[in-house]
Structures are given as structure tokens and as C-alpha cells.
Chains A and B, each alone.
Chain A
Amino acid sequence: MKWRYLEEKVFQGLMIAATLLAALVLLIILGTILFKGAKALSLEMLFRLPKGGYYLGREGGILNAIVGSLQLAGGATLLALTISLPIVFYLNYFTRPRSLWPIITRFSLDVLWGVPSIVYGAFGFLLMTWLDLKASLLLGIITLAFLEIPIMGRAMDEVFKLVPRDLLDASFSLGATRWETAWKVVLRQTLPGIVTAILIAFGRAIGDAASVLLTAGYTDNLTTSLFQPVASLPLAIFFQLGTPYPEVQQRAYAAAIILTLIILAVSFVSRRIARHYSRHLVL
């Protein structure tokens, strides 16, 4: 009896330790960027473009990278959504579940999920040479969308699998087609899960440096066309950390704070939206 009690306590302790460890690592990371970057953080940095000598530690900001990152990740997320949503509809409602095709598709998505982003970057680069394009916003969006599709697709697929069979039957028995059922019933039921999937993919895309390094280029200006190169926060951090100047390195950490805040804000807003629409969910 005593031993069982002890066992319970030991494993409880281990679980708490593991949880604390994870929280601690997060805190250290956040602490580091805050500690090293908070001093360089200013409104000027948020709302101004880099000026001459910015990379030597003088005036200007990183508006180009903030806007550029939002353009890249926003565009890529939209593109990935328009591709992965049909994939998920198809996998779940238009194929026989145990036939070969959905098995192959799911397996491919799983493999693609694990592919490192530099490989996507290299693929984008190849695409660029084949299509004779320049490093540009468009190419960055396409490459990031490739990165996002497996993440978004598989995350949504799992949510779709949880939709109760009876709910589908209820819709079918009213004479609805599979498309009407998917579009009008399943989409509502899975909305919170879809929002989460979009969020995870967006977070991955906005923080990714390797895919955009070779495909999106970099610029000190705002990008107004799909065919111009575009700046991004991860690359801004990368370039600034690589300089030998402490002031500039400090700015890199400040940029990291901004990147973190953007992800936080996006996640907060979309959760609110999802909660608003989840009041109709059944079961």
C-alpha cells in the first residue's frame, strides 16, 4: 500500500519536473530576447524604414521587414489554405477511406511535414531558375505555401476525422450532396480546429528564415509588387546578428521581440474569432 502511494508521488513529481523544464526553457528564451533587445526597441524601429548606415547602428527602423513578413506569411497562408482545404475535403468525403489514394496522400503529407525548410528553400530556388524569375515576394509566398500545406493539411485532416458520422448522415438524409455537407455543416463544426491549423502554419511560415533566404531576397524598402524582392523579420534578425556591432545585434533581439509579439497578437485575435463561431458546435 505504502509503495503504491510512493510510486504515485514519484511519477507525479516527474511530470511536474518535465512541465517546469519546458516552461523554464520558454522563459529563458523570452527573457534573453527581452533582456538583450528591450533597450533597442522603439517606436522609430516599428514605423520607419532602415536609413543609411542602419546596419552600422544608426537611425532608421525595420518597417520593411515587419510589413514584408506579414505579406509573405499572410500570402502563403491564404495560398496554402486554398490548396489544403480541398485536399482535406477530398480525403475525407470524396474517396473511399481504405483505398490506396488517401493513404498515399496522407503519407506524403506526413513526410513533407518533416522536410527541413532549407529543402523547400532550395526547391523554390530551383523553381526560380526554371521559370526564370527573380527572388521576389511571389516566389517567397509560393515556397512558404509549400512549407505550410502539409502542416495545415494534416492538422485539418485530424479535425475532420473527429466529425461524428451521425452528423454527416443527418445532412445526407435531408438530400444534401457531399459538397453541401462539407461546405455548410462540416466547415462550421470544424471551424475552431481549422483556425488552429491556420495559426500553426502561419506561425511556422512567419518565423521561417531558410525558405525565404534563397527565394524572397531582401530589400530596405516596402514591397509593392509581387515581383519585387521583399524583406522579412527572420532574415533581418539573421543579418543583424551576423554583424560585429553590439548596437546592431541588440536590434536583432528587438526584432525577435516584435516577431514574437506578432505571433502572439495573431493567435489571440484568431482564437477570439474561433470562439465566437464555436457557439454553434454540437457535441
Chain B
Amino acid sequence: MNLARFRPHISLKNLNVYYGNLRVLKDITLDIPDRQITVILGPSGCGKTTLLKTLNRLLDFVEGVRIEGQVLVDGEDIYAPGIEVTRIRKKMGLLSQRPQVLPMSIYDNVAYGPRIHGLKDKKKLDELVERYLRIAGLWDEVKDRLREPAGRLSLGQQQRLCLARGLAVEPEIILGDEPTSALDPQSSQNVERCLVSLKSQYTVLLVTHILRQARRIADYIVFLYLGEIVEHGPAEQVLNNPLDPRTKAYLSGEIS
């Protein structure tokens, strides 16, 4: 098995997450490979979203949460005291289950990130907005109505706008929390295609419960069950020759 192409970008070491007394993530130790699509598979309620939110520290806002262990991004512990949280978050673009556009125009949605990080130059902003809307495959559809409210776009377009918005802060990692679950098949396909085209430059980490989606785009698979990592490895191996009986049961649809 050739593991050389899976150079770690994010490393989790003995990660435990508690909501109050409930332990939702149990001793997670995992390397997430650089510039690959890693898919976290698992039935609902197994801690997939929690794991994702641990990475960009959105979990900080959840009441009564306790995190133990280490999360290293580029070798840096993002839970170390004194770390600048906004810089960590800026490294990761997030796509949520329902696309969540900001209450402003299409243009301003994409420009929001660069602006808060200090970019004021109008021409540069224009360039950025166009570049990332193109990458998200949305430019041709919206180029004549950039000043319109983003809420008027269809859900599929909104999700691609969120992708463009996330890319505009120049992250290294793209986190997707079932980003196609609210979309129709055509829009889902557009988003998937985008993600695949992005993996040459970004580390993509995708949470999903859609097995076929995992088969289509995953390079590396992590199977999470009841807060534990059951199995992880290159996609072809986990999907075709799972080692653990629970993974087999999940893949054959016995647990879902």
C-alpha cells in the first residue's frame, strides 16, 4: 500500500470532546492528508459535525464543551494558549449543511472576508470576487447581478457562493459539513465537481452520510461510529476491503 501520497496536514492526537458529561469524541488519533479529499463517513449522531467544528474552533461557542488532546495544523497546536483564533479559522473555509449566505449582496459576500482582513483596494477586490466566483463555477450566472441580495440565488447557487466566499480568504483547508444535503442532484454534482477540482491546491475534509458521494470523490476515508474511529485508510481499501465488521455492516447498509 502506497501511503507516501498521504502527507499529513492536520494531525489529531488523543482528541476527546465532552458535552457536559457526555463524551462525544473518544480518543481520536488521526492524520488528515495534505491536498486530498478526506471523507468522514458515519451514521448521524456519531460526532462527525463535532469533529469538523473542533478543527476550526467553532466548538468554542458551544456551551459546556470540554476539549482534551491535541489538534495540530501544519504542526501547530491550535488549542495552545495564546493562539490567535481568527487566524486559525481563516485557514479553513467552511461549507455548512444549508448554505448560509450573509445578509448582503453577492459581491459583498465574497468581498466580506478579504475586507475584514484589511483589503480595501477596489480593483483588487473586484479581481478577487471575479476569480473566486469563477473557481466556484458561479461567475457566468451572476456576473450581471453582483449587487443583488445573495438571498435571491437558488440554494445550489448559494452553496457555490459560500464556497467562493470561503476561498476568498485564501484558506489551506476546506471543511464541508454535508454540503450537498440541501441541494438537488444537479447542484450537488456541481459542488462535488468543484471540490474535486480544488484538491490540487487545498486539503478537503468532507463530512457525509452519502455513501455514493464518498465512492465518487474520496481519496481517504475515515469511518466514525459512536464517537470512535473504527477504521481509516485510502478510499479504495476501506470501501472495497474493510477490515472491521462494523465498517462492513455500514457499507452494506445494515447500520445507518
Given known A-B contacts A169-B100, A174-B166, A282 and B150 have beta carbons under 8 A apart: yes
Complex contact B116–A184 (CB within 8 A): yes
CA separation between A283 and B101, bound complex, in Å?
Answer: 9
Given known A-B contacts A96-B63, A173-B92, A282 and B86 have beta carbons under 8 A apart: no
Interface CB pairs A-B, < 8 A, 29: A164-B100, A166-B100, A169-B58, A169-B96, A170-B96, A170-B101, A171-B102, A172-B61, A173-B89, A173-B93, A174-B89, A174-B90, A174-B93, A174-B112, A174-B116, A174-B169, A175-B90, A175-B113, A175-B169, A176-B112, A176-B116, A177-B86, A184-B112, A184-B116, A185-B102, A188-B103, A280-B105, A281-B149, A282-B102
Supply 17 further A-B pairs (C-beta < 8 A) apart from A172-B61, A280-B150, A282-B150.
Answer: A97-B63, A164-B100, A169-B96, A170-B100, A170-B101, A170-B102, A172-B58, A173-B93, A173-B94, A173-B166, A174-B165, A175-B87, A175-B169, A176-B86, A280-B105, A280-B151, A282-B151
> Which residues of chain B (76-114) have a CB below 8 Å from chain A?
86-87, 89-90, 92-94, 96, 98, 100-105, 112-113
B38 contacts partner chain A, Cβ-Cβ < 8 Å: no
Tell me the B residues contacting A by CB distance below 8 Å. 56, 58, 61, 63, 86-87, 89-90, 92-94, 96, 98, 100-105, 112-113, 116-117, 149-151, 162, 165-166, 169, 175
CA separation between A189 and B104, bound complex, in Å?
Answer: 9
Complex contact B58–A173 (CB within 8 A): yes
Chain B residues whose C-beta falls within 8 Å of the C-beta of A171 in the assembled complex = 102, 112
Report the interface size class on chain A. 20 to 34
Chain A residues whose C-beta falls within 8 Å of the C-beta of B149 in the assembled complex = 279-281
Given known A-B contacts A166-B98, A188-B104, A282-B151, A98 and B89 have beta carbons under 8 A apart: no
CA separation between A283 and B96, bound complex, in Å?
Answer: 15
CA separation between A170 and B102, bound complex, in Å?
Answer: 8
Chain B residues whose C-beta falls within 8 Å of the C-beta of A96 in the assembled complex = 63
A180 contacts partner chain B, Cβ-Cβ < 8 Å: yes
Look across to chain B and name the residue whose beta carbon is closest to the beta carbon of A174: B113
Q: What 8 A-B pairs are tightest by C-beta distance, nearest first? A: A175-B90, A173-B94, A174-B113, A170-B100, A175-B86, A166-B100, A188-B103, A189-B103
CA separation between A281 and B150, bound complex, in Å?
Answer: 9
Look across to chain A and name the residue whose beta carbon is closest to the beta carbon of B58: A169
Q: B183: shortest Cβ distance to chain A, in Å?
A: 16
A167 contacts partner chain B, Cβ-Cβ < 8 Å: yes
Q: Mark A199-223, 1 if CB is under 8 A from B, else 0.
A: 0000000000000000000000000
Chain B residues whose C-beta falls within 8 Å of the C-beta of A282 in the assembled complex = 100-103, 150-151
Q: Mark A250-283, 1 if CB is under 8 A from B, else 0.
A: 0000000000000000000000000000011111
Q: Mark A91-124, 1 if CB is under 8 A from B, else 0.
A: 0000011100000000000000000000000000
> Which residues of chain A (82-98) have a CB below 8 Å from chain B?
96-98
Chain A residues whose C-beta falls within 8 Å of the C-beta of B162 in the assembled complex = 170
CA separation between A96 and B61, bound complex, in Å?
Answer: 9
Complex contact B116–A180 (CB within 8 A): yes
CA separation between A185 and B115, bound complex, in Å?
Answer: 13
CA separation between A77 and B114, bound complex, in Å?
Answer: 35
Most buried by B among A96, A168, A169, A185: A169
CA separation between A58 and B100, bound complex, in Å?
Answer: 64
Q: B179: shortest Cβ distance to chain A, in Å?
A: 13
Q: A53: shortest Cβ distance to chain B, in Å?
A: 57
Look across to chain A and name the residue whose beta carbon is closest to the beta carbon of B151: A282
Chain B residues whose C-beta falls within 8 Å of the C-beta of A98 in the assembled complex = 63
Name A167's contact: one of B58, B102, B112 (CB within 8 Å): B102
CA separation between A166 and B182, bound complex, in Å?
Answer: 14
